[in-house]
Chains A and B, each alone.
Chain A
Amino acid sequence: MRPLELIARTAQSFRSQVFVTRGTNRVDAKSLLHLLTLGAEPGMELDIDATGDDANEAVEQLVKLIGSEFEGIGPA
């Protein structure tokens, strides 16, 4: 759950609407409750998209965060 909190906090730092998708479930990346419904596990593929004036930056930051595999904070 802690990786999801980092995703939510990072998404919240942008003005854009940010979404994370797993399969057919596309959720608000700023909501920890919504992110939890993804049931995301290490190694799973997620899509990120954003709409707004800082959308590119938001996606870039989130890809970087998730790509780092949340170094240092451990799973769950």
Chain B
Amino acid sequence: MKLCDFVVSASIIPDLQVGSKEDAIRSMVTGLREAGSISAADEAGIVAAILKREELGSTGIGRGVAVPHTKHPSVDKLIAAIALSSNGVDFASLDGEPVYIMFLLVSPPDRPGDHLRGLENISRHLRNDNFCKFLRQSKTRDAVWDLLKEADNNEI
């Protein structure tokens, strides 16, 4: 599984301007709707499901990264949005630090394996300090997309 297979390029937000977890999640799901990956009718339900998951425990996994996610029957394959914040978002992370890189995942409930492999793939790249550094330096959607392609080809 490659990043470019499930990240929706049109939903990438390279300069997220909000500071709260809820607003960040809302903006990212709106990005998926505007990209045509989810329908307007499902937008609120997906936001609510992701926020509910966050109540069980933050998906802020440390090192300035969060991976908010939910399973939702409205999608037929794993999709992901990316948002970058230069000021940081308060995500109530495990390490108490703000979050600068967010990968939001929505996957079909009947394919838990895809969900796990998506998280595995994202986390493997995020372990690479250069990947995180270059991602945070990316200022445009195209720059982020090019970086994802390089990561997929193990060029970072």
Contact = CB atoms under 8 A, between A and B. Distances in A.
Given A2-B56, A8-B94, A33-B126, A39 B61 contact: no
Interface residues of A, number: 17
B133 interface: no
B129 to A, nearest CB: 12
Given A5-B57, A5-B94, A33 B63 contact: yes
A1 B120 contact: no
Contacts of A32: 61-62, 94
Contacts, number: 47
Interface stretch (B26-34, B83-91, B108-116): B108-116
Contacts of B115: 76
Classify the secondary structure of A's interface with B: loop
A33 B61 contact: yes
B119 A36 contact: yes
Contacts of B126: 33
B113 A37 contact: no
Contact of A38 (B59, B120, B122): B120
B62 A39 contact: no
A36 B57 contact: no
Interface string A23-43: 000000001111011111100
A76 B116 contact: yes
Given A5-B57, A33-B61, A33-B126, 7 more contacts: A33-B63, A33-B127, A36-B120, A36-B122, A39-B119, A76-B112, A76-B115
